[in-house]
């Protein structure tokens, strides 16, 4: 493996990151309006038959189609309860509890109806907002898929497992017998021909991280690495930890320095990579050392 660390690449960091392909505005509007017009129409129909905002939410929770229910919850959030996260609103089994706890702060139904009536169908502005949810996470899926492909080209004699795009994360209890945190999720595991674990990995695309989010991300990574490597040390395993991170967020704030410090916290045991660093830094020598 090259002697250059992640920290040594900082001065030319812009050369080593990969930018995800994006979509231009207003080019997206035709597809966005076509996709979300039925959602807005259905929201309007439910709005007409609801005597209160609580009733509106309960009707949305009863929609059988999962995709439609989530989109309606997002529209509800914009019109009725912008303080509540979609992850809470989309939970069908918690609908009654949500109404009991937060229903008194829902926007009154007559105000919602009046606001809805002022907007065209399809509402281009709202369709564009909903479209942003559609592409959320795509950069991360693309990163993982490209890393798996690059890894197999670079180290064809090894095996890498894990979800290459969307899919359930690997739980470390399925990798290490008696692992202390059974539900610890990871994105990939690298094995040799004897099915010996060589490395555990996480992959994330950092688009615009900064501030508290930046601290949470690197702090969480540090805890994860300490847990895995302490377990490996205790059980005399040679497993290492790899963090595949890419994107312009690495150039913001102290992100690059934080990842560099993470890599140096366990010398020779942690590797932080962008996709462009894989051929140079992720080597068989390092994995077996």
The per-residue pLDDT for range 95-134, each reduced to its tens digit, is 999 999 999 999 999 999 999 999 999 999 999 999 988 8
pLDDT 10s digits, 222-275: 999 999 999 999 999 999 999 999 999 899 888 999 999 999 999 999 999 999
pLDDT at position 218 is 80
CATH 3.40.91 location in the chain: 137-288
Position 86 confidence tier, pLDDT thresholds 50, 70, 90 = confident
pLDDT > 90? residue 19:
no
pLDDT at position 212 is 46
Which of 25 and 139 is assigned the larger pLDDT?
25
pLDDT > 90? residue 165:
no
pLDDT 10s digits, 280-289: 999 999 999 9
pLDDT at position 2 is 53
Which of 91 and 38 is assigned the larger pLDDT?
38
Q: Which of 76, 70, 85 is nearest to 46 (CA)?
A: 76
Q: For residue 29, how many C-alpha atoms fall within 13 Å in the half-sphere facing its CB?
A: 9
pLDDT at position 1 is 47
Q: Which CATH number fits domain 137-288: 1.10.357, 3.30.980, 2.30.29, 3.40.91?
A: 3.40.91
Q: Return mean pLDDT, the chain.
A: 91
Position 137 confidence tier, pLDDT thresholds 50, 70, 90 = low
pLDDT at position 166 is 74
């Amino acid at each position: 493996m090259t002697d250059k660390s992640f920290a040594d690449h900082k001065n030319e960091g812009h050369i080593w990151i990969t930018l995800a392909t994006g979509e231009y505005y207003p080019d997206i509007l035709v597809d966005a309006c076509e996709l979300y017009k039925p959602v807005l129409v259905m929201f309007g129909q439910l709005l007409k038959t609801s005597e209160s905002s609580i009733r509106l939410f309960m009707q949305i929770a009863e929609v059988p189609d999962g995709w439609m229910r989530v989109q309606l919850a997002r529209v509800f959030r914009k019109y009725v309860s912008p303080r509540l996260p979609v992850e809470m609103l989309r939970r069908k089994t918690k609908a009654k509890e949500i109404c009991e706890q937060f229903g008194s702060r829902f926007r009154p139904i007559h105000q919602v109806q009046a606001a809805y009536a002022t907007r065209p169908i399809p509402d281009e502005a709202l369709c564009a907002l909903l479209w942003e949810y559609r592409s959320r996470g795509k950069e991360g899926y693309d990163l993982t898929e490209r890393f798996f492909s690059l890894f197999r080209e670079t180290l064809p004699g090894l095996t890498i497992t894990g979800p290459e795009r969307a899919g359930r994360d690997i739980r470390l209890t399925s990798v290490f017998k008696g692992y202390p945190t059974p539900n610890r999720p990871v994105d990939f595991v690298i094995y040799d021909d004897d099915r010996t674990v060589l490395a555990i990995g996480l992959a994330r695309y950092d688009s615009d991280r900064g501030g508290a989010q930046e601290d949470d991300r690197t702090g969480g990574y540090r805890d994860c690495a300490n847990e895995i490597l302490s377990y490996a040390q205790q059980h005399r395993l040679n497993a290492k930890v790899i963090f595949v991170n890419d994107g312009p967020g690495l150039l913001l704030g102290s992100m690059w320095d934080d990842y560099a410090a993470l890599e140096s916290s366990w010398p020779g045991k942690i590797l932080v990579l962008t996709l462009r660093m894989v051929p140079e830094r992720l080597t068989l020598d390092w994995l077996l050392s």
